[in-house]
Amino acid sequence: MICRVCDSEKLELAIDLGKQPWANHFLEPDEIGKEPYYPLRVVFCHKCKTAQLDYTVKKEIMFSNHTYLSGITKSLSEHFKFIAVQIDKRFYKNNDVKSALDIGSNDGTQLKHYKDLGYRVLGIESSGNIAKIANESGIPTINDFFNLELSLKIGRKFNVINASGIFFHLEELHSATEGIREALTKEGVFIVQFLYMKRIMENLAFDQIYHEHLLYYNLNTIETLLNLHGLSMFDAYLAPTHGGSIIGFVTHRDRNCNPSERLQALRQAEIIDKSNDFAIYLAFADRIKQMKVDNLSYVDAAKRQGKSIFGMGAPVKGNTLLNYFGIGTNHLDCLVEKNELRRGLYSPGQHIPIIIERELQAPPDIYYVLAWNFKNEILANNQDLLESGTEFYFPVNPKDF
Ligand SMILES: [Zn+2]
């Protein structure tokens, strides 16, 4: 195997989460026990410092029919709205004609906010069923994978290109980045939102490691990739989304934009904290092992006391966590989920049944919160349960919240 970014062969194993099923395929009853397992390992490139999976589940398997809906959580939709309003105010307030392209546009939640601000919008979404939902709600969406070829086929340029989370997914990394350069107007802004590996490690949010996430960037490493394709970052800030994300602002490199002070500060922090050193990754791997011991001891003790435990949420990342910890039907009776697309399904690997939240008969003694990134929203929505004694346990507890 060679590095996905720089082609170097100097890769070394950093984090091994064992063999796991593809986390985003919740199982129909007749699929239980038949799900294939794949290695889930993060390797580190000693040349360009990019952390990445050494095994790729084919994108056609992973992204053609996924069930994650971005519109479903209020805080995520509000975050998307904030982004759109901020971009418009900062760059395009006075433009009569403006356009936005969203790569990995999901159900169109991000583009809806741009449309409301007067943008001509286009979404690219690889999942057929979700692209359909977007089109039906009035957000024009192409059902395909974004790469240079598609960018040339679209043949238009955009003031704003948004890619949220997608930079972890890109199997065709170089072609897609080239496609972005091609589709961006001369003075356009590419907004890239990605999980920030430095923060993920500090927050012990290891469940963000799953097969869709092929790459785990720090600023240093994503800037290497962008620069390779004639793009450069001129501003960035940290957001708490998904346990630690960066919102980066990128434009054509030949504009020679000066990096903002806050971007320079973030770059400096990576140097001071040695965030691009292999040793940091090894230390992270050791702390994850300890989390497993601690979590098993907590759920085992609760079961010994006869308590009932339900998982809260059935997020994709929850499967990494459950499968790595070995928390299954012995511990959790069910996963309680809002997303109707997951009705009647079972978690891959552990085979825990999913129950739709509003159909729940009675609450458990303990909610084991897999959707921990919505901690504030969850605690706010469940005040009555908290008062009546239901415990909420957060296996991952980022300090950003
Ligand atoms: Zn490399």
| Annotated domain spans of the chain | 1-305, 306-393
Q: How far is the CA of 242 from the centre of ligand 1 (A)?
A: 25
Cα distances from 133 to residues 34, 110, 320, 383, in angstroms, run 29, 14, 27, 33
Q: How far is the CA of 308 from the centre of ligand 1 (A)?
A: 46
Mean pLDDT of 34-45: 96
Cα distances from 40 to residues 1, 193, 372, in angstroms, run 15, 23, 22
pLDDT tens column, 244-271: 899 999 999 999 999 999 999 999 999 9
Answer whether 152's CB lies under 8 Å from 182's CB. Answer: yes
Cα distances from 14 to residues 171, 288, 295, in angstroms, run 20, 12, 22
pLDDT tens column, 11-28: 999 999 999 999 888 999
Q: How far is the CA of 132 from the centre of ligand 1 (A)?
A: 37
pLDDT tens column, 318-358: 999 999 999 999 999 999 998 888 899 999 999 999 999 99
Give CATH superfamily name and number for 306-393.
Answer: NAD(P)-binding Rossmann-like Domain (3.40.50.720)
**Tokens linked to 142:** 């192409």
Q: How far is the CA of 228 from the centre of ligand 1 (A)?
A: 12
Three-state DSSP class for 318? helix
Mean pLDDT of 185-205: 95
Q: How far is the CA of 179 from the centre of ligand 1 (A)?
A: 21
The CATH T-level fold of domain 1-305 is Rossmann fold (3.40.50)
306-393 matches 1-305 in CATH topology: yes
Give the 3-state DSSP-derived string for 191-223, with helices as H, strands as E and coil as C. Answer: EEEEECHHHHHHCCCHHHCCCCCCEECCHHHHH
Confidence class of residue 58 from pLDDT cuts 50, 70 and 90? confident
Protein residues within 5 Å, CB atom, of ion ligand 1: 3, 5-6, 8, 45, 47-48
Question: Distance (Å, rounded) from C-alpha 101 to C-alpha 99?
Answer: 7
Q: How far is the CA of 217 from the centre of ligand 1 (A)?
A: 11
Question: Distance (Å, rounded) from C-alpha 32 to C-alpha 29?
Answer: 6
Q: What is the pLDDT of residue 175?
A: 95
pLDDT tens column, 264-296: 999 999 999 999 999 999 999 999 999 999 999
Cα dihedral 349→69→212→66 (10° resolution):
70
